[in-house]
Amino acid sequence: MDWLFLTEVSLAGIGAGGLYALTGLAFVLIYKATRVVNLAIGEILMVGAYVFFGFSAGLALPFWLAAPGTLLVSGLLGAGIERTLIRPMLGENPISIFMLTIGLGSILVGLVELVWGANPLRLPEFMPTQPLFLGEAYVSPKVATAFAVASLVVTAFLILFRFWRGGVALRATASDQAAAYSMGIDVPKVFSLSWVIACMTAGAAGMLVGAIGGISPTMGVFGLSVLVVVIVGGLDSVLGALIAGLAIGLLEALAGAFLGGEYKTLTTFSLLVLVLMVRPHGLFGTHEIERL
């Protein structure tokens, strides 16, 4: 066994896992506040990456303008989606809303192809490129940067939800809308805000993912791995998204290195099935309380 190789593969996996966790956070935020399973999260991430491409390559803006601009546009996209598509569906069958997000994903792919075409593109370099060594093990500087940003954001949200009462407002809204209203919580604002923040997070993840692997309209399939992450971690748990994100990133990398690339998905989805059999609400998700 080559320990150096194992370490390098593991580090790369954990690095990728950071991005899973970040995108998972975007998913969890929306689910936590609105109980909407947003399958378009991968496509929103993709739009974020393209918007960044448009700002930095198209308009040739410097990074410090292009990045906040991307976050802003992603946030506006989130607000728009919530206001025009999600809010009118309030109180409808969850399956309908779920289907609506699938449709939304296709529409976003179509729009991006209309504007930028279907061919893969490369983002302008904005991350450090000096090779990085942890001990003897090589870590891609891009992956390391992405991991650092992702873990910072996720940790910030973990702390926020622990000490900020807005976290309680979010969960209260998800738990019982009418009761949340009667507590003086501005429910529509909570909805809107959760979509805005989630889409900004997804946009940021899109920039990072795009910088590592390039962008294409099909990069939204990244969302599929994220779906596995949030189901394993628990749909409403930020901590779950973090831990499951890292674990699945690691698992994918190891499976890819030792079993071959075609076994990556098999391994992660096997884990998914296993976790669902043992804990149907995910590792850290809350399960519904039923009093008899």
Q: Which residues form the interface with other proteins (CB under 8 A)?
A: 165, 168-169, 171-172, 175-187, 286, 288-289, 291
CB of 99 to other proteins, least distance (A): 23
CB of 83 to other proteins, least distance (A): 16
Provide CB contacts within 8 A for 38, sequence distance 6+. 27, 30, 31, 101, 198
CB of 165 to other proteins, least distance (A): 5
Specify the long-range contacts of residues 227-231, CB closer than 8 Å, at least 24 apart.
227/27, 227/39, 228/268, 228/269, 228/271, 228/272, 229/20, 229/21, 229/23, 229/24, 230/24, 230/27, 230/28, 230/31, 230/282, 231/272, 231/275, 231/276, 231/282
Provide CB contacts within 8 A for 256, sequence distance 6+. 9, 263, 264
CB of 282 to other proteins, least distance (A): 14
Residue among 96 and 119 whose Cβ is closer to other proteins: 96
Cα angle for residues 167, 172, 174 (degrees, 5° grid): 100
Residue among 168 and 274 whose Cβ is closer to other proteins: 168
CB of 290 to other proteins, least distance (A): 8
CB of 291 to other proteins, least distance (A): 7
Helix, strand, coil abundance in the chain, percent, nearest 5: 75, 5, 20
CB of 280 to other proteins, least distance (A): 15
Q: Which residue has the tokens 């795009």?
A: 210
Q: Which residue has the tokens 């992405």?
A: 146
Residue among 109 and 241 whose Cβ is closer to other proteins: 241
Residue among 92 and 186 whose Cβ is closer to other proteins: 186
279: left (phi over 0), alpha (psi -120 to 50) or beta: beta
Residue among 265 and 286 whose Cβ is closer to other proteins: 286
Residue among 29 and 108 whose Cβ is closer to other proteins: 29
Residue among 60 and 178 whose Cβ is closer to other proteins: 178
